[in-house]
């Protein structure tokens, strides 16, 4: 059973609080921009597409709450809100894509303030429906790459919890499962926040897809055993040449895949591709709080006073990627050509 990751409800944003999973399924209501920003920063909502959708809903909410009746004052307040949301997570390009899309409405010179407010709500809700169609299209294209039977290895969480529907990396799995094919998943636990262990296993098990959890450092042995047919992960930002930023640990999997001659795929919507970046060296990498590494669920596991390096993402070179799956199809190298053709 796929649950809603986020939704528009009574002029506010409701989110499935992913920090409570798998122990508790609870929706939280964000009725101010401040509470929504906190939810994004604290990973109550996460996954590049879902972050973008949350930001779009946040701008719609801010529009309704904006009390300025003159266009200039309305725009100034919306600019402040957009900056607040933009500062929450620097790596996922979908956040900025969504904010830019909403900006075209609240900056419009041909719309009055009242029209802007309604159009912001309509646009945010339409983006959710659009993301559902995109997820299903990614799943349809990606499923053609899965043999029957098939065992997929994935990293972090790129299923419906990260989007409005099927997900990205898990979309081909869900499509194949619904087609009655034999498909199973191995999920890396994904330290330090265990998105694979907490979220991916939970949603796959909930959907009736066989799933096996492994620690991150078991991936090489698992691949060497021959049980894995292919690897699919999501992405938070893809450069024009195909270099892909995803949850920390993804690049290591890609290196292992090349060594063991196993196909390595990235699945993401076109909106995740940043054509303004020539390559992945320019992708900003978010560094998060040290306590995410030194603590698990509030319990300290490392000595006090040590140094901690906690990058949330790494960048997989395009040379290690077999293909990139988007809603437009399966794109193969050279990516600087195939990705631009998708436009």
336 and 207 inside one domain: yes
121 and 170 inside one domain: no
Q: 336: closest CA among 207, 243, 260?
A: 243
Token pair in block for residue 200: 């991916």
202 and 317 inside one domain: yes
182 and 226 inside one domain: yes
Annotated catalytic residue 236? yes
Domain enclosing residue 247, as ranges: 143-341
74 and 222 inside one domain: no
Contact status, residue 178 vs residue 1, Cβ threshold 8 Å: no
Domain count for the chain? 2
Return the axis-axis angle of helices 71-86 and 33-41, rounded to nearest 10°: 20
Q: 325: closest CA among 203, 92, 169, 220?
A: 169
First to last CA, the chain: 33
Q: 232: closest CA among 313, 337, 140, 323?
A: 323
Compute the distance between CA of residue 311 and CA of residue 289 in angstroms, rounded to an integer: 9
Residue that has been written with the tokens 């972050």 in this structure: 51
127 and 148 inside one domain: no
CATH number of the domain enclosing 122? 1.20.120.420
CA distances in angstroms from 322 to 126, 235, 255, listed in the order given: 32, 14, 12
Whether residue 1 lies inside any domain: the answer is: no
Contact status, residue 251 vs residue 311, Cβ threshold 8 Å: no
197 and 321 inside one domain: yes
Return the axis-axis angle of helices 48-65 and 33-41, rounded to nearest 10°: 170
Compute the distance between CA of residue 291 and CA of residue 233 in angstroms, rounded to an integer: 26
Whether residue 274 lies inside any domain: the answer is: yes
CATH number of the domain enclosing 148? 3.40.50.10470
Compute the distance between CA of residue 68 and CA of residue 77 in angstroms, rounded to an integer: 8
Q: 233: closest CA among 225, 219, 116?
A: 219
Buried/exposed code over 117-133 (b: 16+ C-beta within 10 A; e: otherwise): bebbbebbbebbebbee
DSSP-based three-state secondary structure for 204: helix
Token pair in block for residue 132: 């559902």
User: What pLDDT is attached to residue 1?
Assistant: 58
Reduce the secondary structure of 159-194 to three states and give it as a string. CHHHCCCCCCCCHHHHHHHHCCCCEEEEEECCCCCC
Residue that has been written with the tokens 């590049």 in this structure: 48
Q: For the chain, 343 residues long, give each residue's pLDDT as a single digit of tens.
A: 578 999 999 999 999 999 999 999 999 999 999 999 999 999 999 999 999 999 999 999 999 999 999 999 999 999 999 999 999 999 889 999 999 999 999 999 999 999 999 999 999 999 999 999 999 999 999 999 999 999 999 999 999 999 999 999 999 999 999 999 999 999 999 999 999 999 999 999 999 999 999 999 999 999 999 999 999 999 999 999 999 999 999 999 999 999 999 999 999 999 999 999 999 999 999 999 999 999 998 899 999 999 999 999 999 999 999 999 999 999 999 999 999 998 8
DSSP tag of 216: G
Compute the distance between CA of residue 44 and CA of residue 15 in angstroms, rounded to an integer: 7
Contact status, residue 146 vs residue 183, Cβ threshold 8 Å: yes
Helix H or strand E encompassing 70 = none
User: What pLDDT is attached to residue 2?
Assistant: 73
Give residue 205's region: left, alpha or beta (phi > 0; psi -120 to 50): alpha
Active-site hit among 131, 236, 243, 314:
236
111 and 33 inside one domain: yes
Last residue of a domain, one of 135, 166, 191: 135
168 and 312 inside one domain: yes
User: What pLDDT is attached to residue 297?
Assistant: 86
- 332 CB-near residues (< 8 Å, 6+ apart): 322, 323, 338
Contact status, residue 53 vs residue 127, Cβ threshold 8 Å: yes
Q: What angle do CA 171, 176, 178 make, to 5 degrees?
A: 95
Compute the distance between CA of residue 241 and CA of residue 239 in angstroms, rounded to an integer: 5
Last residue of a domain, one of 81, 106, 135: 135
Compute the distance between CA of residue 342 and CA of residue 326 in angstroms, rounded to an integer: 9
């Amino acid at each position: 059973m796929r649950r809603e990751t986020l939704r528009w409800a009574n002029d506010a944003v409701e989110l499935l609080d992913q920090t409570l999973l798998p122990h508790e399924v609870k929706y939280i209501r964000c009725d101010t921009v401040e509470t929504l920003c906190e939810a994004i920063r604290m990973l109550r909502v996460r996954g590049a597409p879902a972050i973008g959708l949350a930001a779009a809903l946040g701008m719609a909410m801010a529009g309704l709450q904006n009390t300025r009746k003159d266009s200039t004052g309305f725009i100034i307040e919306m600019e402040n809100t957009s900056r607040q949301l933009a500062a929450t997570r620097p790596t996922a390009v979908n956040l900025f894509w969504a904010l830019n899309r909403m900006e075209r409405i609240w900056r419009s010179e041909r719309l009055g303030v009242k029209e802007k407010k309604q159009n912001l709500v309509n646009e945010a809700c339409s983006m959710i429906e659009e993301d559902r169609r995109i997820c299903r299209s990614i799943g349809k294209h990606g499923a053609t790459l899965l043999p029957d039977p098939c065992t997929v290895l994935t990293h972090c969480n790129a299923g419906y919890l990260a989007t409005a529907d099927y997900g990205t990396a898990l979309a081909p799995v869900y499509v194949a499962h619904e087609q009655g094919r034999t498909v199973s998943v191995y999920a890396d636990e994904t330290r330090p926040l265990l998105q694979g262990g907490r979220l991916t296993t939970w949603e796959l098990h909930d959907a009736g897809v066989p799933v096996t959890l492994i620690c991150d450092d078991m991936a090489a042995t698992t691949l060497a055993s021959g049980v894995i047919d292919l690897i699919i992960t999501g992405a938070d930002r893809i450069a024009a040449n195909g270099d892909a930023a995803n949850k920390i640990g993804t690049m290591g999997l890609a290196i292992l895949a090349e060594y063991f001659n196993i196909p390595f795929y990235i699945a993401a919507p076109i909106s995740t591709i940043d054509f303004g970046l020539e390559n992945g060296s320019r992708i900003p990498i978010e560094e998060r709080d040290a306590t995410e590494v030194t603590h698990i669920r509030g319990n300290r596991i490392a000595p006090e006073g040590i140094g901690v390096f906690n990058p949330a993402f790494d960048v997989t070179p395009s040379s290690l990627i077999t293909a990139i799956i988007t809603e437009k199809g399966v794109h193969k190298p050279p990516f600087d050509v195939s990705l631009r053709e998708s436009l």
